Amino acid sequence: MQAQSGFFIQFLRLATPFWKSENKIVIRQQSLALIVLTIFQMMLAVVITTWSSALFNALEEHSMSGLFKQIGYLILIFAASIAVTAMHIKVKRDLQIGWRAWLTDRVIGKWMTNGRHYLVSHIQTVEHDNPDGRIAEDIRISIDEAINLCHSLFYSLLLIISFTKILWELSGTIKLDVGLLHLPIYGYLVWAALIYSVLASVLGWWAGRPLTLTTHAMQTVEANFRFGLAKVRENSQAIALIHGEINEQKRFSHFFQDIINVFDRQTVAWTSILLFNSGYGVLSMAFPILIVSPRYIIGSITLGALMQSAQAFQQMSGALSWPVNNMAGIAQWRASVERVLDLVKALEDLELEIARPDPQRILLEKPLQSTLCFHDLCISQLDGTVIICGLNAEIRLGERVLIAGDALTGARLFKAIAGLWPWGRGRIELPDSEPMFFMPPRPYLPDDTLRNAICYPSSSEVFSGISIEDLLKLAGLEHLISDLDQENTWDNVLTRDQEQRLGLVRLLLYRPKWILLQEAFDSLDPDGEALMLRIICQQLPDAAILTISNQPTAKAFHNRIINL
């Protein structure tokens, strides 16, 4: 129970600030409208049972005028039901998409900030794999099911309140003779519905206990399968070039076998629930009529009262059986909420990890200076193994420094400069006024027009006065000029050396003062890499350049070497 309450508290802390957000007036109006429309739905349910009683009484009396009168009432009830249902679905869906948009924006804001999407992959405090699936799918399920469950629970509570009164009045009083005792039982139908529903709920929960675990497991393995497919799509060219299709098929088979195993377990859980629900549904249809019919047979009640009692019993027992009827929805909702909470928890743990004072953390500073300085810098792996120790250096504008040694170690140094690798100790003093331009081995090219992809992350309008065509020619990519305004998945269309040349075009567009090249031209031959470095030095002569490269020709373009 403590874990259950803790789960609800975490969910409320995550989701309820939605009602205090900037659009809170509209949100509260929508919530109030949903409550009012739910009350109208309950009132219609009560009216229908009253109408049913009057209809069957008219049939029992063979009254044609009474029949036509009830047909007229039915038309009014039908029109009211259509109007309430239409307004209800509109308000509910507006509330769902608004809440989902708010929560999605909040989680993405935590995830896509200062490289947190990268750093969180190194935090192992809680499970947080496949963040894309958790944001796109699990948030949707969490919000949609939360509103559906809250609405149905509120509606059920209204039905219980309303039909308890109706059933109590229709039940009358029956006398139970037990030997010398003559016990009057008031509202026996209410007690029968209560006992019937409690027994059904207990049995239903017992039958459905395995469903929560299997639902959570199914969402995890499905997400792993989708992620594997997406990763292959993103790297299809590389896989095709080395003929790795058979290996990927084996991996897909492994992922899908996990789905089959969990699916079989979920089938067993679903079978138990469906068997219970099937028997429960048949019994719910007949049981209320059977327990009320003796009073009709002896003439204590009319046929209309019999049918009204049966319908009221069904409404009340159905409302009391809300936990049973919503077991699957609750299981799916909880599994999705837990996946979202795990991702948010991982991001919060990351923030605490970075913020807490710790001598084993690299300190980034921005003093009022135009140099890049390393003071007693040590960089560690996640397990504490030191890979760089005691680095002291000062790099000024205009200097060109070659980072020699292990390329992976140099990459960690660049990540530390970018604030993406805080593990270690010492200080890094960054230039105060100038941003740093990092060129990884493979530049990111979003699915957009080639012009916008080159200008990323800024808009192409920012560079309207610069000729991208001339820069493409300079980089040896004049054949791509005709594709500048074409949309495509460029990381699948272009070769790796073309992508790296586009990285040069992007660099020359931004013209930064500080450039960090991490094997940015490693797919080119030595002459090609030398040409790219020569262009950078000619076009940006005043920029500071830090280069990680294993090509011997790179030394000629640098005036300093730092050996790691």
Contact at 8 Å (CB) between 349 and 123? yes
- Residues near 225 by Cβ (< 8 Å), separated by ≥ 6? 252, 255, 256, 258, 259
Predicted pLDDT at 422: 86
Q: Which residue spans within 134-251 are E strands per DSSP?
A: 173-178, 181-186
Q: How far apart are CA 303 and CA 426, in angstroms?
A: 88
Beta-carbon-side half-sphere exposure of residue 329 (alpha carbons within 13 Å):
16
| Confidence label for 126 from pLDDT (cuts 50, 70 and 90) | low
Average pLDDT over all residues of the chain: 85
Q: How far apart are CA 172 and CA 189, in angstroms?
A: 9
Main-chain phi, psi angles of 434, to 5 degrees: -110, 130
β-pairing verdict for 400-404 and 448-449? unpaired
Predicted pLDDT at 374: 93
User: In degrees, to the nearest 5, what angle opens at C-alpha 410 toward C-alphas 407 and 412?
Assistant: 115
Q: How far apart are CA 215 and CA 262, in angstroms?
A: 9
Mean pLDDT of 407-416: 90
Q: Is 555's pLDDT higher than 70?
A: yes
Q: Is 407's pLDDT higher than 50?
A: yes
Query: Mean pLDDT lowest for which of 87-101, 171-185, 284-298, 530-544?
Result: 171-185
Q: What percent of the chain has pLDDT over 90?
A: 36
Among candidate residues 560, 555, 547, the one with its CA nearest the CA of residue 403: 547
Q: How far apart are CA 119 and CA 123, in angstroms?
A: 7
Predicted pLDDT at 359: 64
Percentage helix, strand, coil, to 5, in the chain? 70, 15, 20
Q: Which residue spans within 135-221 are E strands per DSSP?
A: 173-178, 181-186
Predicted pLDDT at 265: 87
Q: How far apart are CA 352 and CA 342, in angstroms?
A: 15
Question: pLDDT tens digits, residue range 507-549?
Answer: 999 999 999 999 999 999 999 999 999 999 999 999 999 999 8
Stronger pLDDT, 231 or 402, i.e. the higher one: 402
Contact at 8 Å (CB) between 523 and 494? no
Q: Is 125's pLDDT higher than 60?
A: no
Contact at 8 Å (CB) between 280 and 204? yes
Structure tokens at 23: 């659009």
Report the range out of 171-180, 241-250, 332-341, 351-360 with the highest average pLDDT: 332-341
Predicted pLDDT at 130: 75
Predicted pLDDT at 128: 62
Structure tokens at 336: 């999705």
The total number of residues written for the chain in this structure = 564
Structure tokens at 538: 């000619």
Q: How far apart are CA 52 and CA 61, in angstroms?
A: 14
Q: How far apart are CA 266 and CA 264, in angstroms?
A: 5
Q: How far apart are the first and last CA of the chain?
A: 55
Q: Which residue spans within 57-179 are E strands per DSSP?
A: 173-178
Which domains, ranges and CATH numbers included, belong to the chain? 14-355 (1.20.1560.10), 363-563 (3.40.50.300)
| Confidence label for 369 from pLDDT (cuts 50, 70 and 90) | confident
Predicted pLDDT at 177: 65
Q: Which residue is listed with tokens 């007036």?
A: 25
Predicted pLDDT at 345: 86
Mean pLDDT of 283-298: 77
Predicted pLDDT at 2: 41
Q: Is 277's pLDDT higher than 80?
A: no
Mean pLDDT of 42-57: 89
| Confidence label for 553 from pLDDT (cuts 50, 70 and 90) | confident
Contact at 8 Å (CB) between 564 and 409? yes
Mean pLDDT of 110-128: 74
Mean pLDDT of 242-254: 86
Q: Is 210's pLDDT higher than 80?
A: no
- Residues near 457 by Cβ (< 8 Å), separated by ≥ 6? none
Question: pLDDT tens digits, residue range 167-193?
Answer: 887 776 666 666 666 667 777 778 888
Q: What percent of the chain has pLDDT over 70?
A: 93
Predicted pLDDT at 105: 92
Question: pLDDT tens digits, residue range 312-335?
Answer: 887 888 888 788 778 778 888 888
Q: Is 1's pLDDT higher than 50?
A: no
Predicted pLDDT at 127: 61
What are the CA-CA distances from residue 514 to residues 144, 373, 411 (Å)? 47, 13, 16
Mean pLDDT of 360-380: 88
Q: Is 91's pLDDT higher than 70?
A: yes
Mean pLDDT of 62-90: 92
**What type of residue sits at position 238?**
A
Q: Which residue spans within 333-433 are E strands per DSSP?
A: 363-365, 371-380, 386-396, 400-404, 424-429
Query: Using N-to-C axis directions, what is the helix angle for 327-355 and 188-234, rounded to 10°?
Result: 50
